[in-house]
Amino acid sequence: MPKLFDRVKVNVPTAGTGSITFGPASSTAFLTPTEAGAIDGDTVRYILVDGTDFEEGVGTIFSSAAQMARTTVTKSKIGGVVGATKINLSGTAVLAFTASASDILNPANNLADLLDKAVSRTNLGLGTGATPQFAGLELGNAADTSVTRPAAGRLQVEGEEVLT
């Protein structure tokens, strides 16, 4: 899955259909890939707009996060025709990092897609009773604090019995 970065939108001075060089942020309200934390080797979902044409795809960051290979084009609209080809950049395009529905909603991990509450509880490891059941809890850092129930009516914090 591509990495997600917030508020990246840059001018693209590159012409043609090859890799692009990132220009400055399109306004002070946006970030460059480097400012957002992108590094070489990151894959990102992007949208390029040049005039009335656009291209969506997955790109790979390289050259000290100054450039991006247009690795896979997933959708484009060139001259009003929808397809999946690279647009021919004029040197005045704008690029933004984005997310697609598939990045956000993976049906295999979306509890709303499950058939019933029992399946949801099982997938969350919550037992099968009317209320959630846990053998123990880790609070804070995993090595920090544990709360357990060694027997009915008994509670321990870090192995020490708590009077109830």
Residues 127, 92 within the same domain: no
> Which pTM value belongs to this model?
0.65
User: How many other CB atoms are there within 10 angstroms of residue 70's CB atom?
Assistant: 20
Residues 49, 62 within the same domain: yes
Is the pLDDT at 111 greater than 80? The verdict is no
Structure tokens at 128: 């099968």
CB 23 within 8 A of CB 13: yes
In 89-144, where do the E strands start and end? 89-90, 93-97, 136-139
**Residue 134 covered by a domain:** yes
pLDDT at 113: 58
CA distance 103 to 78: 25
**Residue 160 covered by a domain:** no
Residues 79, 134 within the same domain: no
- For the chain, what is the domain count? 2
pLDDT at 108: 54
pLDDT at 142: 59
Q: Which of 62, 82, 104 is the last residue of a domain?
A: 104
Summarised one tens digit per residue, pLDDT across range 26-78 is 999 999 999 999 999 999 999 999 999 999 999 999 999 999 999 999 999 99
